Amino acid sequence: MLETSARLLRLLSLLQTHRDWTGTELADRLDVTPRTVRNDVERLRNLGYPVHATRGAAGGYRLGAGASLPPLLLDDEEAVAVAVGLRTAAGGTVSGIEETSLRALAKLEQVLPNRLRRRVNALQTYTVPVPGQEGPRVDAEVLTTIAAACRDHERLRFDYRDHSGAATLRNVEPYRMVNWGRRWYLVAWDTQRDDWRIFRVDRVSPRTPTGPRFTPRDLPAEDIAEYVSARVAAAPWRTRVRVTVKAPAAEIAARVPGFAGSVEPLDDDTCVFSTGADNPETLAIWLGMLGADFTVENAPELVDHLRSLAERYARAAAN
């Protein structure tokens, strides 16, 4: 039988990994009597852990939320995951949490065993961020406000700026947030347009308080991440182009990210790459990544940029 202190830690660990436990289940796991479980639960309560109990045949124990945050038990993998997440948050896309992330990380690393600290440090030492990948940053309070509205099924009103900078007031039923690359997106039902919409969170300015509760609808797709990526990729570009590429479709599809456009086969050795961008310079760079010969259809402005880029490369190769 475990000593009392070790048993309490084991009991706490069980309560943190399962929503409900019967007294019999806990007694079997700890190899003690149900009376000992009741006594240990009371000891945890005295230490500040809000363990709720329900009576009856379907009764049991549940670790709930309290007025203050008690200590948490983390296994090795969880501790490493939290440490990595805090280091990422300190320099990520969410603004306003850098300092608090570093404070929390310092507390965690102070108590990490050496073997775990080495794992976290190795990841930091041998992981190099790509420079020049700065994107829009989202205020942490905005994220928590939207997440709470999603959780509580409360309508959300916010001021929204579109890609041209025009501002509108939106009233939506929020459902999910998707983090894709350097951007955050909100999937919501727009009550004014009576349809699903995707909003860039960095362009959202929530108004408080939130609106009334709503009855959740079926989501527009089972895979919300794929739903967002497909629609963001199909967003209107200022410049669109179809390119015939002298390479198999599977080969080209493997070379370009999904958001860059679509690839359709013409035959075994040729495909069409449909893409777009806000300017022809960006398109010229995308096409340079294809690694195969191609022909541009009906885009003379893009051809001019390709010619200019080719001349620049030729001059660089001659030096």
User: In the prediction, which pLDDT does 196 show?
Assistant: 96
Q: Give the C-alpha separation, 163 to 231, whole Å.
A: 15
Q: Give me the pLDDT at residue 2, please.
A: 56
**Tens digit of pLDDT for each residue in 182-238?**
788 999 999 999 999 999 999 999 998 888 999 999 999 998 988 887 777 666 666
Give the model's pLDDT for residue 187: 95
Peptide bond before residue 257 is cis, with ω within 30 degrees of 0: no
Cβ atoms of residues 205 and 230 within 8 Å = no
Dist CA 73 CA 182 (whole Å): 32
Of residues 93, 122, 123, 89, the one with CA closest to residue 103: 89
Which residues in the chain show pLDDT less than 50? Answer: 132
Q: What is the pLDDT of residue 117?
A: 83
* pTM: predicted TM-score of the whole model, two decimal places: 0.56
238, 242, 237: which is closest to 297 by C-alpha? 242
Identify the pLDDT of residue 71.
72
Segment 265-288, tens digit of pLDDT: 999 999 998 887 767 777 887 788
pLDDT score of 300 = 83
